[in-house]
């Protein structure tokens, strides 16, 4: 599974991407695993009161997980997960 980080998530992780040999079954498991790896700042950026943070955009193979089951979104070993902060501009 390939995890790609963008913008402030690159700063939080110190990485552009991560190739995982493990294969979490669901997004919730993946975010827990990554929170252990990257610490409290990462956890606070991805979770909000036990749910996905409203300031997070999380895509699995280009599809927003908010439309595919949220934390229950299933994963497979060949998936590509992209992690973005919410961005606004004008």
Q: What is the pLDDT of residues 42-59, one digit of tens each?
A: 999 999 998 999 999 999
Q: Are 2 and 55 contacting, i.e. CB atoms less than 8 angstroms apart? A: no
Three-state SS sequence of 6-18: CCHHHHHHCCCEE
pLDDT at 29: 97
Band of residue 87 on the pLDDT scale cut at 50, 70, 90 = confident
pLDDT at 22: 85
């Amino acid at each position: 599974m390939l995890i790609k980080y963008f913008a402030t998530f690159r700063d939080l992780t110190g990485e552009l991407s991560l190739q995982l040999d493990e294969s979490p079954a669901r997004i919730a498991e993946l975010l827990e695993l990554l929170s252990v790896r990257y610490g409290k700042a990462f956890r606070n950026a991805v979770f909000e009161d036990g749910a996905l943070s409203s300031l997070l955009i999380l895509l699995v193979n280009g599809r927003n997980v908010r439309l595919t089951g949220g934390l229950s979104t299933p994963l497979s070993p060949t998936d590509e997960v992209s992690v973005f902060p919410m961005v606004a501009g004008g």
